[in-house]
Amino acid sequence: MRARVAVVVGLALLALAGSARAEGKQQCLNRVRKGFGDCQRRVREQCRKEFDQGLSGCFGPNDPCIAKCQEEEHRCSLEPEATLAGCRAACAGDLKAASRNCPTTGDAAKVCIPAARVAALKCRQHCAEVMGPAKERCTGAFKDCLTACARGG
């Protein structure tokens, strides 16, 4: 049985390696990065689902106090999340534009792309710094609301 599993795993790895060569390293890297981001989103969504189910276990299904907290948190988070997503998208666009303008050969090429990446990182950090307090206010209000519900609220 183990031998069959090893053969299947080996064949799968060869297929992946072959597809990586066929599609090109950069395309493969882009695909793998996208897959990683998609995976992280799925995990966050699953954790949120489990948290919501846990709340139902604590307070009973369709508890009006919990429903109110969840609605308020959703409403509160909409603007900061949309603004953060827009800000990050602008950073990504700036990185693409800067990368396209970089020379492809010589010493300038060795400096230009890394500098563009650093600028994009600083841009994303700025987005998080700007929107962080608004998201924290929503999270704090949600926690306070849940605590009030637990106290009979």
Find out whether 102 and 112 touch, Cβ atoms under 8 Å: yes
pLDDT of residue 109: 80
Residue 150 resides in a domain: yes
Residue 56 resides in a domain: no
For the packed helices 64-100 and 25-59, what is the interaxial angle rounded to 10 degrees?
170
Residue 89 resides in a domain: yes
Find out whether 77 and 135 touch, Cβ atoms under 8 Å: yes
User: Which of 104, 99, 101, 128 minimizes the C-alpha distance to 116?
Assistant: 99
Give how many domains the chain has, as a whole number: 1
On average, the pLDDT of the chain sits at 87
pLDDT of residue 71: 96
CA gap 68, 70 in Å, rounded:
5
pLDDT of residue 117: 94
DSSP state of 104: S
Residue 34 resides in a domain: no
pTM higher than 0.75, yes or no? no
- Nearby residues of 135 by Cβ (< 8 Å), 6 or more positions away: 77, 80, 81, 84
Q: Domain limits at 98?
A: 62-153
User: Which of 136, 38, 121 minimizes the C-alpha distance to 113?
Assistant: 121
Residue 40 resides in a domain: no
CA gap 31, 23 in Å, rounded:
10
Mean pLDDT of 138-153: 94
Mean pLDDT of 107-113: 87
Residue 114 has phi, psi (to 5 degrees) of -60, -40
| 44 pLDDT higher than 80 | yes
